[in-house]
């Protein structure tokens, strides 16, 4: 079972930048970190955070945040929320005395995303410099940063390595007017000398990850960057999360029938099984000792804290009438789903395709679902509901999303899957606990 929602004793502190719809912030909080400050810019994402209990804080307020009460029973109860552009926050130095345990965030990824225009460092949306400023000013013990796998593309490799070096030496600031290449050379020289004060140096590691390998019912390729202040001498290699789920185990569970047994209450599941097994690609993989990838069918049926809470089926009249199904918020039918070349649907018995924000719509069919019934609406397809998509992103059902459907889907597409973030946040906490004798 997941630890989502089991917040327990919150004995460490965190700061969250670029919080978006709250995925990584929730993950860090679930891992036992009390948020001292949460920052977000987008209007609808801010509404989501406040609707879930976050308390708005003045960006000019430099008093030490105290544990908030907020709205009892809401997920983000008491989170101190600073709205607006992170660049408008004058300083984070008032947090230095709090000895922030972890600074977390996913700087806007559009500069490096395959789905964007990929301007990279030329794009004004590149917010890594603000992450580095925050590190300098608050000196957190650890940093967790999530971003798109596009950062590792060959065309961005020199700049990505510069990001890693700058995170290693955030106090070595770029000279005014210097290019990043010139600053990179300064960083290289400083790292080669190796005489930087350990309290002003970070040990940085990065890991390409597929969220499905960590229990998220979605194929989502990302890069996780983790850094620890060098004076803490954290042994990250002993705590770095390893993948626990695999495609081979999923295929094996289909062959031995354990996967289908979990869904034996689905109408017509025997016929579905026959069809899926006849077209299974790949037909087999070498079995391993991991757990099966979670599928879209698993997510809809309920996993982790939603175990046993199956979402009711969306009927044709729900789609045509855009009706709320079963009284469940955001479980709303939506018409107009289409499938064509290059716009292919999700299959129920695979992890979902990558949930995307879709600034100009989602071009690859990531929000379309192939149903068990091939006659549904004459096509066998429908749009996924927002609630189904939220489950794919491993948000709990009681997390409220603000705005119209498009804005809710945008927030989900930009978010960090809660379970993926929680796996790494728990590992960071364990590594810190060990280094500081709290284990």
The Cα 396–Cα 349 span in angstroms is 21
pLDDT of 123-144, one tens digit each? 566 788 899 999 999 999 999 9
φ and ψ of 401, to 5 deg: -110, 130
Q: Kindly state whether residues 41 and 78 are assigned to the same domain.
A: yes
| The pLDDT value given to residue 125 | 66
Q: Tell me, yes or no, whether 224 lies in a domain.
A: yes
Q: Kindly state whether residues 120 and 210 are assigned to the same domain.
A: yes
pLDDT mean over 399-426: 96
Q: Check which CATH number belongs to the domain holding 144 and give it.
A: 3.40.50.150
- How far does Cα 109 stand from its chain's mean position? 12
pLDDT of 249-281, one tens digit each? 999 999 999 999 999 999 999 999 999 999 998
Q: Kindly state whether residues 184 and 162 are assigned to the same domain.
A: yes
Q: Kindly state whether residues 250 and 239 are assigned to the same domain.
A: no
Q: Kindly state whether residues 146 and 293 are assigned to the same domain.
A: no
Q: What is the DSSP letter of 196?
A: S
Q: Kindly state whether residues 163 and 207 are assigned to the same domain.
A: yes
Structural domain boundaries, residue 349: 246-403
Q: Tell me, yes or no, whether 200 lies in a domain.
A: yes
pTM: 0.93
* Domains identified in the chain, total number: 2
The Cα 25–Cα 108 span in angstroms is 15
Q: Kindly state whether residues 223 and 260 are assigned to the same domain.
A: no
Mean pLDDT (the chain, rounded): 91
The Cα 191–Cα 269 span in angstroms is 59
Q: Tell me, yes or no, whether 125 lies in a domain.
A: yes
**When comparing pLDDT for 66 and 222, which is higher?**
222
Q: Kindly state whether residues 180 and 275 are assigned to the same domain.
A: no
Q: Evaluate whether 144 touches 24 at the Cβ level (below 8 Å).
A: yes
Q: Which of 26, 19, 28, 68 is nearest to 47 (CA)?
A: 19
Q: Kindly state whether residues 323 and 239 are assigned to the same domain.
A: no
Q: Tell me, yes or no, whether 409 lies in a domain.
A: no
Q: Which of 285, 311, 284 is nearest to 300 (CA)?
A: 311
91-100, 361-370, 414-423: range with lowest mean pLDDT? 361-370
SS3 245: strand
pLDDT of 297-346, one tens digit each? 999 999 998 999 999 999 999 999 999 999 999 999 999 998 988 889 99
Q: Is the pLDDT of residue 110 over 80?
A: no
The Cα 391–Cα 24 span in angstroms is 15
Q: Tell me, yes or no, whether 1 lies in a domain.
A: no
């Amino acid at each position: 079972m997941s630890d989502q929602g089991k917040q327990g004793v919150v004995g460490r502190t965190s700061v969250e930048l670029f919080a978006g719809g709250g995925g990584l912030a929730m993950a860090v909080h679930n891992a036992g970190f009390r948020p001292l400050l949460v920052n977000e810019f987008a209007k609808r994402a801010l509404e989501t955070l406040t609707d879930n209990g976050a308390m708005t804080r003045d960006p000019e307020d430099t008093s030490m945040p105290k544990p908030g009460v907020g709205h009892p029973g809401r997920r983000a109860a008491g989170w101190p929320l600073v709205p607006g552009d992170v660049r408008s926050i004058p300083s984070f130095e008032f947090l230095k005395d709090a000895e922030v345990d972890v600074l977390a965030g996913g700087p806007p990824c559009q500069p490096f995303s395959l789905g964007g225009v990929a301007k990279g460092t030329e794009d004004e949306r590149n917010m890594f410099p603000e992450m580095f400023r925050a590190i300098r000013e608050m000196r957190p013990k650890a940093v967790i940063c999530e971003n798109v796998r596009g950062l590792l593309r060959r065309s961005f490799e020199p700049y990505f390595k510069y990001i890693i070096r700058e995170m290693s030496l955030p106090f070595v600031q770029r000279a005014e007017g210097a290019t990043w290449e010139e600053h990179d050379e300064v960083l290289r020289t400083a790292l080669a000398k190796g005489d930087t004060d350990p309290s002003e140096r970070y040990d940085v590691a990065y890991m390409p990850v597929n969220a499905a390998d960590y229990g998220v019912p979605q194929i989502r390729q990302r890069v996780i960057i983790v850094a620890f202040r060098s004076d803490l001498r954290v042994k990250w290699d002993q705590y770095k999360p390893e993948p626990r789920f695999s495609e081979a185990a999923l295929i094996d569970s289909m062959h031995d029938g354990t996967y289908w047994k979990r869904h034996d209450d689905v109408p017509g599941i025997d016929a579905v099984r026959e069809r899926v097994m006849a077209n299974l690609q790949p037909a087999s993989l070498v079995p391993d000792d991991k757990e099966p990838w979670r599928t879209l069918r698993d997510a809809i049926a309920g996993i982790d804290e939603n175990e046993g809470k199956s979402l009711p089926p969306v009927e044709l009249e729900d789609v045509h009438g855009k009706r709320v199904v079963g009284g469940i918020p955001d479980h709303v039918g939506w018409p107009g789903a289409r499938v064509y070349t290059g716009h292919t649907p999700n299959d129920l018995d695979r992890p979902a395709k990558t949930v995307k924000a879709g600034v100009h719509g989602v071009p690859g069919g990531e929000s379309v679902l192939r149903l068990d019934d091939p006659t549904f609406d004459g096509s066998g397809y429908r749009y996924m509901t927002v609630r189904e998509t939220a489950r794919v992103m491993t948000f709990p059902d009681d997390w409220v999303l603000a705005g119209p459907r498009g804005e809710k889907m945008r927030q989900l597409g930009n978010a960090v899957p809660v379970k993926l973030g929680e796996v790494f946040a728990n590992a960071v906490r364990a590594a810190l606990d060990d280094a500081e004798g709290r284990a």
